[in-house]
A and B are shown apart, each in its own frame.
Chain A
Amino acid sequence: MEKILEVKDLHVDFDTYNGVVHAIRGVSFHLNAGETLAIVGESGSGKSITVRSILQLLAKNGTISKGEILYHGDDLLQKSTKEMDDIRGNKISMIFQDPMTSLDPTMTIGKQVAEPLLIHNNVSKKDALKRAEEVLRLVGIPNPSARMNDYPHQFSGGQRQRIVIAIAIVDYPEILIADEPTTALDVTVQAQIIDLLKELQQKIGTSIIFITHDLGVVAGIADRVAVMYAGRFVEYGSVNDIFYNPQHPYTWGLLDSMPTLDTNEGSRLHSIPGTPPNLLNPPEGDAFAPRNAYAMEIDEEEQPPFFKVSKNHYAATWLLHPNAPKVTPPEGIMKRFAKYERLGGNVK
C-alpha cells in the first residue's frame, strides 16, 4: 500500500500567558491510500492539533517546533503560504466538528460548496455551481437545485453537516480530515453521517483521518486506530488489535469505560481516575503513570518506547518490556483477549 501521508516526530508548542505548552510531543504516523485512520483520545489530548498541523491551521500562538509532514514525500512544512493555499481544500480538506457554526451564515450554501472549485480549478461560476449541486445530491441533501440559494439557518444540524462534508469533498481531495464530525450531532444522525463518509470513501477513493473521542464510532469506520494521550500516541494498530488485543493501560481504561451490551443493569460505569497532566511541564516518564493502576517505578522516570506487539501493532508501555512483571488487565479486557484468541485475531 502506498503511503500518501507521513508525519514524523511532530512537536507543536503553544505560547500562552502562563508559558509554553508542549501540546504535541513527538507524534509519528502514516496514512495509506484509501484507508481510514482513526485518532482516539480524550479532550485536550492533542488530536485536533495534530491534524490541524497537517493543514497548518493552528491558532496564531501555535508553532510546529519540530518534525516533518510528508505528503507524497514532500514536506508540507517547507511549503510557502501560496503553495499551502493550493493544497488546502483541494488535495487535503477538512470536516469540522460543529456544523451549527462552521458555515458562513450570510452566504448561500450553493456558493459555499462551489467556493473550493472556484479557488482551485479554472472553472466558470456556472460550472462550479452545477458541480456543487451534484455534490449536494451526493451527500443526500433532498432537492438540491431548489436549495442552492438557501442559507445555512434554513437547514437542520444533520443537513448542515452534510453540507460541510459536501464542501470538503467537492474537489475530490486525496485526504479528508474529519475532526469529530459527529460529536455535535444526535445519535441517529451520527450513524447517517458515518455511513455517508464510508459511502463517499468508496465513491471517490479518498483516505480519511478520523478524529473522535467516541470508540463506538471508531469501530464503525476505521481500518487502523491510534490512541492518543497527553500529546503522544500510546498505542496504534488495526481496529481488531486495539479493540481485542489492547496492550496499553490507557487503552484498557478507554475500552473499559465504554458501556457494552454485557454491562449489567445497575452496575457502575468505569472511569479513569484523575486528570491528564498539565503540558506546561510535561512529565519525564509516561504521562499516564499517575492515573495508571499498573504503573511501575520506571514509568515515572523514563518515557517508554514503542514495543512491537504484532505486525502493525505497537504500544508504548513498559509492561511490554521482557523484564516487566506479568499483570492481569481488568476483567472487561480479559474478555476481549479471550474473544481475540478464540477467533485467531480476526474478530470482525
Chain B
Amino acid sequence: MTKYILKRIFYLFVTLFIIASLTFFLMKLLPGTPFSNQNRMSPDQLKIVKAQYGLDQSVFVQYIRYMGGLLQGNLGTSFQFNNEPVTALIGQRLAPSMQIGAQAMIVGTIGGILLGAVAAIRKNTWADTLATFVSILGLSIPSFVLAVLLQFYLAYKWRIFPVALWDNFQSSILPTLALAAMPLGSVARFMRTEMVDVMSSDYIELAKSKGNSSWGVVVKHALRNSLIPVVTIIGPMAVSVMTGSMVVENIFSIPGIGEQFVKSITTNDYPTIMGLTIFYSFLLIIVYLIVDILYGLIDPRIRLGNGGKE
C-alpha cells in the first residue's frame, strides 16, 4: 500500500510537470498583453516594463526561469494584485473556496447516499418517487440558478440567511446548498441503481436468513456494497464543484479563488494563471488518489498492494 502511494506521488509530480509546461506555452499563445495601457506607452517605456517582468526574454528562457522558480516553490509575483506573490494570493483566497467546496461535497455525498438508499429500500413507493424527483432536480438545475433562487427566498424574502456576505458559518450555508445540489443528485441516482441491485442479491437474502432485521440488513450489508459506483463519481464531481464554485462565489460575494482565476485570464496575469492551474491540477490529482485508496477500503477485492488475490 505504502509503495503504491509513493508511486502515485511520483506520478503526481510528473503529471504536474507536464501540465505546467503545456499551460505555460498555451498561455503565451493568448492574445493581448498584461499591460492595459500599452498603447499609451513609448517603445522605451514598454521595453523597461517588459524587462522588469522578464518578458523581454525568449519564451523558452522564460519557461526555464519559471520552472526553476517552481522547483523552489516560487510561483512568481502577480502582475495585477499589488505585486503580491502568487503563493500568498492563493493562500489568502483559498480558505473560503475550500470551505464551501468541501462542505458541498460532504453534504452532497452523504445526502445523496441517504436519499438513494431510501429510494432503493422503498422502491416503487411514494418515497422512491420523491427521492428520484429531488435528485433529478439537483442534477438538472444549474448551481447558479439555484444560488439565485436560494438567495431570493431564504435571504431576501424570509431573511433567514445573509444575502451575500462572508464572515461566519451561517453565511456559508447558502453557497454550500447551491453547490451541493449537483453532487447530491448524482450520488442519489447512482446509489439507488446500485442498491436496488444489491438488495436483490443472494448475500442479502442470506443476511435476512440469519435473522437480521431489515434495518440490520441495510446497515451491515447493503450500504457498503452499494458504495463503489458512488466512489467512482466523487472524482469528476469534485472537479465540477470546484469549477462551478466560480460563479457561485461571485453571486454570494465570497472572496474565493474562483473569481481570481477568471480575472487573471482576462488580464493576461501569467504568473497567477500558472499558479492557479498548477494548484487546481494538484488538487484534482490528490482527489483521484484518495478515490483510488477509498476503493480498496470499501471493497477488499480491489485492495491494492497486497495483490488482493490468494
List the interface of chain A (C-beta within 8 A of B).
Answer: 55, 57, 81-82, 85-90, 93-94, 96, 98, 101-107, 115-116, 119-120, 151, 153-155, 164, 167
Tell me if B210 is interfacial: C-beta within 8 Å of chain A: yes
CB nearest to A60 among chain B residues = B123
Considering the complex, which residues of chain B in the window 278-310 have a beta carbon less than 8 Å from any beta carbon of chain A? Answer: 298-301, 308-310
- A16-B56 Cα distance, complex, nearest whole Å: 79
- A214-B182 Cα distance, complex, nearest whole Å: 53
CB nearest to A100 among chain B residues = B202
Residues of B within 8 A of A104 (CB): 203, 206-207, 221, 225
| Given A106-B225, A107-B221, A153-B309, A89 contacting B203 (CB threshold 8 A) | no
Residues of B within 8 A of A96 (CB): 202, 205-206, 209
| Given A105-B299, A154-B310, A94 contacting B209 (CB threshold 8 A) | yes
Residues of B within 8 A of A55 (CB): 209
Comparing B147-155, B168-176, B211-219, B264-272, the segment that makes contact with chain A is B211-219
- A126-B212 Cα distance, complex, nearest whole Å: 19
**Residue in B202, B207, B220 whose CB lies within 8 Å of A101:** B202
Tell me if B38 is interfacial: C-beta within 8 Å of chain A: no
Q: Are A151 and B301 touching (Cβ within 8 A)?
A: yes
Q: Are A88 and B300 touching (Cβ within 8 A)?
A: no
Task: Name the distance in Å between B299's Cβ and chain A's nearest Cβ.
Answer: 6
A–B complex contacts, Cβ < 8 Å, 17 sampled: A88-B211, A89-B212, A90-B211, A96-B206, A102-B203, A104-B207, A106-B224, A106-B298, A106-B300, A107-B224, A115-B212, A119-B211, A119-B212, A153-B300, A153-B308, A167-B206, A167-B210
**10 tightest A-B contacts by CB?**
A89-B211, A89-B210, A102-B202, A88-B211, A101-B202, A151-B300, A94-B209, A104-B203, A116-B210, A102-B206
- A106-B308 Cα distance, complex, nearest whole Å: 12
- A89-B310 Cα distance, complex, nearest whole Å: 30
- A145-B183 Cα distance, complex, nearest whole Å: 43
Tell me if B50 is interfacial: C-beta within 8 Å of chain A: no
Residues of B within 8 A of A164 (CB): 206
Q: Are A101 and B201 touching (Cβ within 8 A)?
A: yes
Tell me if B65 is interfacial: C-beta within 8 Å of chain A: no
- A101-B221 Cα distance, complex, nearest whole Å: 13
Tell me if B8 is interfacial: C-beta within 8 Å of chain A: no
Tell me if B208 is interfacial: C-beta within 8 Å of chain A: yes
Residues of A within 8 A of B203 (CB): 101-105
9 further interface pairs, Cβ-Cβ under 8 Å (given A89-B212, A119-B211, A167-B210): A85-B212, A86-B211, A88-B208, A94-B206, A101-B202, A101-B203, A103-B203, A104-B206, A153-B309
| Given A98-B202, A107-B221, A153 contacting B301 (CB threshold 8 A) | yes
Q: Are B300 and A119 touching (Cβ within 8 A)?
A: no
Q: Are B301 and A105 touching (Cβ within 8 A)?
A: yes
**Residue in B208, B213, B220, B301 whose CB lies within 8 Å of A57:** B208
- A139-B299 Cα distance, complex, nearest whole Å: 26
Task: Name the distance in Å between A112's Cβ and chain B's nearest Cβ.
Answer: 9
Residues of B within 8 A of A115 (CB): 207, 210, 212, 220
| Given A105-B299, A106-B225, A106-B298, A116 contacting B211 (CB threshold 8 A) | yes
Residues of A within 8 A of B310 (CB): 154-155
- A81-B217 Cα distance, complex, nearest whole Å: 14
Residues of A within 8 A of B216 (CB): 119
